[in-house]
Amino acid sequence: MSERFHRAAFFMGFASMISASCSQSVPHDLTTEIDPSDGSALRDVPLIDHAHWREYSAREDPLASHQPEHIDCGRAGWYVEPAFEVPLLEIDTNYCNYVLLEHPLLVDLAKGDVVSVEVRHYDLLAPEPAAAHLAIWFADSLEWESYVSIPSAAAVEVAHWRVKHARKAGEVVRLHLHNHGQNTWLIAALSARSAAP
């Protein structure tokens, strides 16, 4: 069978996992801090368009102490995966050992708006037990982070939190990811639940 077929089958499996996860607790350390359904007059607003992710300099890394001795992250390490109905950001740590990506916010955010991130990953493997670290920054504010144990089975994980400070469209969102071993991650969505106009 072709690699494309195997990938398509895997993505279809992810869709089933998403459906199942609606009735299950969020696995690993990705925690749900608030109930995103705690208001009736809310709408989901995308904060990013995966086509507009860009790399930024390691000199601007807010977590510089986490950097490996040598950062190796070519374009084969991250790209937009179009196999889903909605494109996703795919990161292959075999070709990117330390992710430094940023994106301008698409909309304004009010303090207290509920933000959600959906992260998916294949089976996580490493020569020795380890942990993956994910973090999201809005400008100079660490908004969310998580450590995921390796090894771990493939999973779909969702987290929610409230924005710490008001933000303007165009301010930078930064994504941090590093782990040990060759693994594949998918950033499915980053969105906010704002009051309906």
First-residue to last-residue Cα distance in the chain: 49
Question: pLDDT digits over 174-190, tens only?
Answer: 999 998 778 899 999 99
pLDDT recorded at residue 110: 93
Backbone φ and ψ for 6, nearest 5 degrees, come out as: -60, -40
Please give the pLDDT value at position 24.
32
pLDDT, one tens digit per residue, over 151-162 is: 889 999 899 999
**Res 86: pLDDT:** 82
Domain boundaries, the chain: 3-195
At 57-100, the pLDDT tens digits run 999 999 999 999 999 998 899 999 887 778 899 999 999 999 99
Taking only the tens place, the pLDDT of each residue in 7-51 is 444 444 444 443 333 333 333 333 444 554 555 566 789 999 999
> Which fold is adopted by the domain 3-195?
Jelly Rolls (2.60.120)
Give the span between the Cα atoms of 184 and 177, in whole angstroms. 11
Instruction: Output 9-16 pairs: Cβ under 8 A, ≥24 positions apart.
Output: 10/122, 11/83, 11/84, 13/154, 14/120, 14/154, 14/156, 14/186
In this prediction the pTM is 0.77
Question: Residue 43 has what pLDDT?
Answer: 78
Q: Does residue 5 surpass a pLDDT of 50?
A: no
